[in-house]
Amino acid sequence: MDELFVICDVREVQEEEVRGFTLARLGAGGTEPWPILIARKAGRLFGYENVCPHGGGRLDTVPGEFMDEEGNFIACGKHKAMFDLDTGHCFIGPCQGQQLTKIDLIIDEGDVCITGVPLTDEDGLDIPDPDAHPEVMIAPD
């Protein structure tokens, strides 16, 4: 079995919340930042790469309060594309028909983990504030 990499404690992602994390992934050119997001809805956790299929930018490019009471959709802060939380499919916006890249999450003893991705420690990455949590919009039905 592949080694589990702990991202956070399950309690760190509240109901109807999206949290962004920047991990360090080994790529062809060495270590590179890998922005991901984890969302929770109806007790279920969803993981996606924090990359909009339209242009490849991060979803959380525009600061502000982007959560609603329903918590059914994720929206790109730049293009306002809307993605289904369950599937990652875009149904409104310039990337309609495309989808977010899903990350399979594993819950292990109260930790949210991933496996099968070559990761390293975050040391050496140019992350301005590793404790800051990117904001990603969740929009109503």
Task: Evaluate whether residue 112 is within a structural domain.
Answer: no
CA contacts within 13 A on the Cβ side of 59: 37
Q: Has residue 117 been placed in a domain?
A: no
For 63-116, how does the pLDDT look when each residue is reduced to its tens digit (9 = 90+)?
433 444 566 788 887 878 888 888 999 998 899 999 999 999 999 999 999 988
Show the domain range for 96.
5-104+133-139
User: In this structure, what token pair is assigned to residue 35?
Assistant: 């922005």
**Taking the model in full, what pTM does it have?**
0.80
Query: What average pLDDT is seen over the chain?
Result: 80
**According to the model, what pLDDT value does residue 138 have?**
45
Residue 126 in domain: no
CATH code for the domain in which residue 77 is found: 2.102.10.10
In the sheet that 106-108 helps form, which strands lie side by side, from edge to edge?
A: 5-9, 111-114, 106-108
Residue 116 lies in a domain: no
Q: Does any domain span residue 99?
A: yes
Number of structural domains (the chain) is 1
